[in-house]
Every structure is written in structure tokens, then in C-alpha cells.
Structure 1
Amino acid sequence: MRTDYVHGYTPAETRRLSDQAQTLADLLHGGLEYAPGTRVLEAGCGVGAQTVQLVDRHPGIELVAIDISEESLARAKERVEARVEWRCADLHELKGEQFDHIFVCFVLEHLSDPVAALTSLRKLLRPGGTITVIEGDHQSAFFHPRSTAADAVIQCLVDLQAEAGGDSLIGRRVQPLLQAAGYDDIRAEPRAVYADETLPHLVDGFTRKTFIAMVESVRDKALAAGLLTAAEWAEGIRDLERTAEPGGTFHYTFFRAVGRT
């Protein structure tokens, strides 16, 4: 499950992932129940932003967290105090192991063949086990004031991720992906975020520190690729920032799907 992480492995990206996980904890994790004693695999744990939520919300689980980046795993170990079995590994290295549940969050968007990854993960689930997949869809971002310049910087992120072999619009197809990988009883649902000045925690935690920060992370790559000029980029970011000011609004949709073996 090799990835080309378009946002980069930087301290700023670690902060962004942490802000995102904390701000969206109830939205992304609400309703999930992993019983004590069950064996859970977090595939693609990164810097541990979602691992924190898993161990806090499901005490007593036996959690195995894997990632292909040693640097990310080191940061994850620093932030998670609970007992976790950490492994620097590709999911294909887990052949023969069995889990009751698998959790995959913001991983498939970076993979060139998500169906193959989901198929490999299905082989790790015990009969009746579940997989939970969470992904976003950048074309679900709409905002006020409207801005073609802001749309252009978002499109840079979409294009760069596609060039790297991923798909930042993958949220809309998590159900068919799970179906193609052979899962049963699939249930997918949208989980929308809306922020305006009456919801300052979401304006700061999501609009500014999650979404705008995510777009800004690809600035240098976008300019180097000639997708926009420096002036066009600055205009687009300024217009995105206006959506987080009084009178501005921002909407984004995540998709969460659960499948069974």
C-alpha cells in the first residue's frame, strides 16, 4: 500500500492532521462501537491523529496501527500514551493475521488502486468483521463569498493528487469501491461540515486549520508545475480566507462507509 503523500511530511502537516482530528472527532467517529477485547487494525495511521480518537473512544481494544512512514510512526508514538502495537509495514505484510475490525481514514485517496488495498484488507477480517472507511471529496467544498480564484487553488490540489496517483474526490465512491472489493452489507452516508461565524470552533478548526491549511500545503508544488502564478495563488488563498471571516460560510462533505465480511 505505497502512497505518494501530496501534502508532505512536515510539522505543519502534523499540526493540520491533529486539528482536523480534534475538530471532526464526533462527526467522523460518532456511532462507531468497538467492544473491549476486540482486535482492531488501523491501516495507514500516519502521525496518530485518528489513533488518539480510537483509543479514547474504545477503551480495552487491542489496537494494531500500521503505516509505511517511519517518521510518521515516530510522531504517532509521541502523541499516543495508550497501549498500541505499532508497526512500520505495508498491509500486504499482514497475511495470516485476523482482526475483528479495520479502520481506514483518509488513506484510499492517496492510493492508485484502492480496490486492491480493500481486497487485501478483507482477507484480514474474521467472518462477520467490519471495515470502516472515511474519505473526503474536494468538489463538495462550496462557500460564500463565491470565488473563481479560490476554486482554482482547490483544483490545484485535486490535479496534483491525481498526478500522484490518488483521487481527492474519492469520497463519493466509497460504497462502490467496497462492493468491488467483495464486502457485504455496505452502509455509506455523508457527514457534512458547515461553518459560519456562529460556529467559531469550526471556522477556526476546520475552515482555517484543516481545509485552507491543506490547500496551502501544495503551494510550492502547484507553482513549480505552472498550474498558477504566485499572484493567482495568493488571490485564491485570500478569497478562501474570506470565507472564515464574518459574513463568510464554508461547507464540506466527508463520506463514511461500513462493510462486513
Structure 2
Amino acid sequence: MGTDYVHGYTPAETRRLTDQAGTLADLLHGGTTYRPGSRVLEAGCGVGAQTVQLVTRSPGIELTSIDISEESLGQAKARVAEQAPHATVDWRHADLRELGDEKFDHVFVCFVLEHLADPGDALVRLRNLLKPGGTITVIEGDHGSAFFHPRSTRAQAVIDCLVDLQAAAGGDALIGRRLQPLLEQAGYDDVQVGPRTVYADQNLPHLVDGFTRKTFIAMVESVRDRAIAAGLRTEAEWAAGTRDLDQAAEPGGTFHYTFFKGVGRT
């Protein structure tokens, strides 16, 4: 169940994930709370940016958070200890196949399926970990939903590099649009999927800074060296593309992106 995390395990990526979680907390977590005492599995906790949201919005849950990166898991532990010191989390360096016959009331998966070669298999494995009547909540983005002003083919080309590199690594940066069929095919009942849209312009400076600059543009920049090494763009072409993309975060620029949130039941 391993993955080549295309954005890399760097301090810059940790900052990006933190900025993203804080900026989009209400958008992504709105409507998701669990009763005290519920056993909840967070599959792929990364650096703990979403873990903080889970334990603060649903106090009293019995949360198990797993990740395949031991380094990220260490950062997650430190983050939760600092930001939610009263929360109790069962941290595990593991992948989905190592959870055996454990059963949970709920599973939460955020920005994980996009990096997996077989997300359908992962969803089936997670369904087998749920108690009867349990739920899964899945949140994913879709880079094909990014559109912006001023329009630029050079900027679009660097975004396409991210999509292509993620595909080469076995993932799918366009997976948001596939959530409904993936959940249905994995055997979940009562599947409901809906868009969670971000729109930013100069009248929404917190989103321009927190999302356009520090989340999306930073995500594209994280694959610069890979894209150039793979021959997808030259250094000059990359610089021109990101320079154009930066204009979406300047006065007069606009940016739009859609996340998809799906819920299924056993």
C-alpha cells in the first residue's frame, strides 16, 4: 500500500499542508463530527494537519491515526501535542494491511487516495474495517478543476506537470471526480458526494494568501525539480509558467478549485 509521495517530505511541504488545513478547515470538515467514544480511524494522517481538526471538532473520540511515513508520524505527534494537548491518539506506523481484524465506527481519509495505484482496493480494505452501520468520509481534490485569471497556457502547462508526475508515480491528481463510482464499486451504501469549492480574489485576501499562494501554487512549485529532471519543462519554461500562475494571486487575479467530499456507509 506504499506510495511515492510526489510533493516530497520537506519542511516546505509540511508548511503547505499546515496552511491548507487551517485555511480550509471549515470548508472540508464542515458537517463531519463523531460522537464521544466512537472508534475512528484516520487512514494516512501525514503530518497531522487534519488530525488536529478531527480531535478538536469531535472531542472524546478514540482516534487511531496511521501513516506509512515514520517521519511524518513524528511530526503529527508533535503537532497534536502542541495544538490539542488533551487529545488522546493511538499513533501507528503502519499501512492498511497491518490492521488485521480491528473494527471501527468511522474511517476518515483525506488527500490519500490520490497517491495510491489502486484506490479501489484501499476502499475495500477500509470497508472491511468498519462495523455494521459505520461510515467512511473521503476528501480529495481534482486538479482539473483549477481555473484562473489571467488565463495562461504557460501556467496551465506547469499544473499539467503536476498531474503527469502524479500519474507516473501511480496516483491520480484528478481523482475527486471519481469518488462516487469508487465508493459505490467498493461496496459502500448510501454514497453521497458533493463539491467543496474554493474561490479567491482580492476581496478574499485570506484565501488568496492561504489557498492560492500557500496551498495551490506551493503544491505546483513542490514538483519543480522533478518536472525539469523528467524533461517536462525547461527551467525557463517552468519559471515563465509559475510567473504567470502567480498573477492569479495578485490584484485583479482570480482562482477557483474544487474539492470533493464523499460519505459512504456499511
TM-score (norm 2): 0.98
Residues 77-156 of structure 1: matches in 2 within 5 Å?
77-81=77-81, 82-156=87-161
How big is the shift at 1:58?
0.4
Equivalent residue of 2:249, what SS?
coil
Task: Tell me whether 1:4 sits opposite 2:9 in the alignment.
Answer: no
How big is the shift at 1:3?
1.1
How big is the shift at 1:226?
0.4
Q: Report the Cα distance in structure 1 between the residues aligned to 2:3 and 2:18, rounded to whole angstroms.
A: 20
Q: Percent identity?
A: 78
Amino acid corresponding to residue 223 of structure 2 in structure 1: V
Q: Report the Cα distance in structure 2 between the residues aligned to 1:227 and 1:235, rounded to whole angstroms.
A: 14
Q: Report the Cα distance in structure 1 between the residues aligned to 2:100 and 2:74, rounded to whole angstroms.
A: 24
Query: How many correspondences in the alignment?
Result: 261
How big is the shift at 1:95?
1.5
Partner in structure 1 of residue 262 of structure 2: 257
Task: Tell me whether 1:65 sits opposite 2:65 in the alignment.
Answer: yes
Residues 239-254 of structure 1: matches in 2 within 5 Å?
239-254=244-259
Q: Report the Cα distance in structure 2 between the residues aligned to 1:252 and 1:35, rounded to whole angstroms.
A: 31
How big is the shift at 1:24?
0.3
How big is the shift at 1:57?
0.4
Q: Report the Cα distance in structure 2 between the residues aligned to 1:78 and 1:251, rounded to whole angstroms.
A: 33
TM-score (norm 1): 0.99
Partner in structure 2 of residue 29 of structure 1: 29
Q: What do the CA deviations read for 1:141-188 (whole angstroms, capped 9, x no partner)?
A: 000000000000000000000000000000001010011110000000
Amino acid corresponding to residue 36 of structure 1 in structure 2: P
Equivalent residue of 1:143, what SS?
strand
Q: Report the Cα distance in structure 1 between the residues aligned to 2:192 and 2:2, rounded to whole angstroms.
A: 27
Q: Report the Cα distance in structure 2 between the residues aligned to 1:184 and 1:225, rounded to whole angstroms.
A: 42
Residues 37-52 of structure 1: matches in 2 within 5 Å?
37-52=37-52
Equivalent residue of 2:199, what SS?
strand
How big is the shift at 1:33?
1.8
| Match among 210, 214, 229 for residue 219 of structure 2 | 214
Amino acid corresponding to residue 185 of structure 2 in structure 1: A
Partner in structure 1 of residue 84 of structure 2: none
Task: Tell me whether 1:224 sits opposite 2:235 in the alignment.
Answer: no
Equivalent residue of 1:31, what SS?
coil
Q: What do the CA deviations read for 1:196-252 (whole angstroms, capped 9, x no partner)?
A: 000000000000000000000000000000000101100110111100000000000
Partner in structure 1 of residue 188 of structure 2: 183
Q: Report the Cα distance in structure 2 between the residues aligned to 1:43 and 1:24, rounded to whole angstroms.
A: 19
Segments ≥4 residues shifted beyond 2 Å? none
Task: Tell me whether 1:161 sits opposite 2:162 in the alignment.
Answer: no
Equivalent residue of 1:80, what SS?
helix
Structure 2's unaligned 5+ residue stretches are 82-86
Equivalent residue of 1:17, what SS?
helix
